[in-house]
Amino acid sequence: VQYVRQFGIRRQWQFGSTNWAMAMADRRTLGGSLQLRAMLSAEPATLTDIGYPQLLQAAQPHRGGTVTDRQHPHELLSELGIRYERAINRELAAELYIAPAGEPAIGPVAYRHRPSAANDPVAPLGHHAQDVAHTTFGVVTVGVFSHSAKLEASVFNGRHPDDARTGLDLGGARLNSYAARLTVNPSSAWSVSGSGGYVAAGNEAEHGGDLHGSQYRLNASVLHTRQLADHGEWSSAAIYGVSLGAGGVDPLYAVLLESNAEIGRYAVFGRAEYVRRTAAQLALTGSVRPELPVGALSLGFAGRLGTLNALRVSLGARGTANFVPADLEPFYGSRTPFGVLVYLHVRPKQPVGRRTSRRDAGGAAFSQKAWQLAH
């Protein structure tokens, strides 16, 4: 549950909730491991269909118009898929992932699942250049992995989900996009990943060839986690993303640094971003440059209040200073528009450092189940 307030000419406020729940079940099948995966979110109801206020977030098409300075809610059905893994030998295993709703092999670990963002409920400004494909309607991925590296390739439906966000958006879906990703874990504390692909939007008229138009994407990330005293953990991430419109427009960059340190009952977290935006992505008209650099610096603190059955309850606060060029000052009322957020965070109790993300605490902790079943 959160209260968000953005200040300045584009000021907005909201009481709402960002949320999701994940479920997994697996069994031994055909000499390997078959896993069923699902993730649900009530955000279409708890945030409304236009999401929560966030200055400088990329504009979204909505009911024939445009919503600005807001982060969209996640899909009601954020993941529904099956994953099959089987050992090839003692060093290699293979994987097949099929999902009506799922994540293709492009981009870093999505912000909702990164340990470095464990206490930060807000999407990065660079989300659309870095990990926006983490919920895609129609994905097929094949991969091979060892104990320290993984290579994946995907074909998927590149069309951006519609603004209803309450069903499987498979109408007219085609596997018209492709991507590949290589992840290397040199140790249990480090994970390095690089990916690239082509995303075919399928409806350039709807997206203006810019917001979610057809584009080539490249991403790189370095994730790190280390243990601290008193059962604490410190996780950090450096992420780079670039999007190049298929029409040959100039590339748009997004750079992110974020960190989260948990010691005992308390956590301190922060994020710094540099993003290149187009005037269309900010829904601007007038004498502004077609491409504009913007930035944001966020700091936050969270303290655990206690536990409720199998849940851990925390109270946190986050402040963000945004940075815009002189061109944008008339639209935002300041070169440094800012916002604040206060939240109550409820999540399952679990030992620090034993995350349950799609790829684990150091970044990408590859499944060991295929070898456990084979040997």
The residues, any chain, with a CB within 8 Å of residue 175's CB and separated by 6 or more, are 138, 140, 155, 156, 157
The pLDDT, as a whole number, for residue 163 is: 77
169 confidence band (pLDDT: 50, 70, 90): confident
pLDDT, position 51: 92
User: The pTM is what?
Assistant: 0.90
At 58 the pLDDT is: 86
121-140 per-residue burial string, b: 16 or more CB within 10 A, e: under 16: bbbbbbbbbbbbbbbbbbbb
C-alpha pair distances (Å), 359 with each of 183, 200, 219, 318, 366 = 10, 26, 16, 26, 7
Share of the chain above pLDDT 90, in %: 64
In this prediction, residue 365 carries a pLDDT of 59
Q: What is the mean pLDDT of residues 191-215?
A: 73
Query: Rounded distance, CA 4 to CA 1, Å?
Result: 10
Q: Hunting for tokens 């590859």 — which residue is that?
A: 366
Q: Which long-range contacts (CB under 8 A, 24 or more apart) does 203-210 make?
A: 203/159, 206/61, 207/61, 207/160, 208/280, 209/245, 209/247, 209/249, 210/245, 210/249, 210/278, 210/280, 210/281
Q: Number of folded domains in the chain?
A: 1
* Separation of alpha carbons 145 and 236, rounded Å: 24
Evaluate if residue 288 carries a pLDDT over 90: no
Residues 281-297: b if buried by 16+ CB within 10 A, e if exposed: bbbbeeebeeebebbbb
DSSP for 83-146? EEEEESSSS-EEEEEEEEEB--S-SSS-GGG-GGGTT--SPPTTHHHHTGGGSBSSEEEEEEE-
By residue range, what is the domain housing residue 287?
2-374
pLDDT (tens digit per residue) in 307-365 = 888 899 999 999 999 999 998 999 999 999 999 999 999 998 764 434 433 344 344 55
State yes or no: pLDDT of 90 exceeds 80: yes
Domain of 189: which CATH number? 2.40.160.10
User: CA-CA distance, 269 to 286, in Å (whole number)?
Assistant: 37
Does the pLDDT of residue 24 top 90, yes or no? Answer: yes
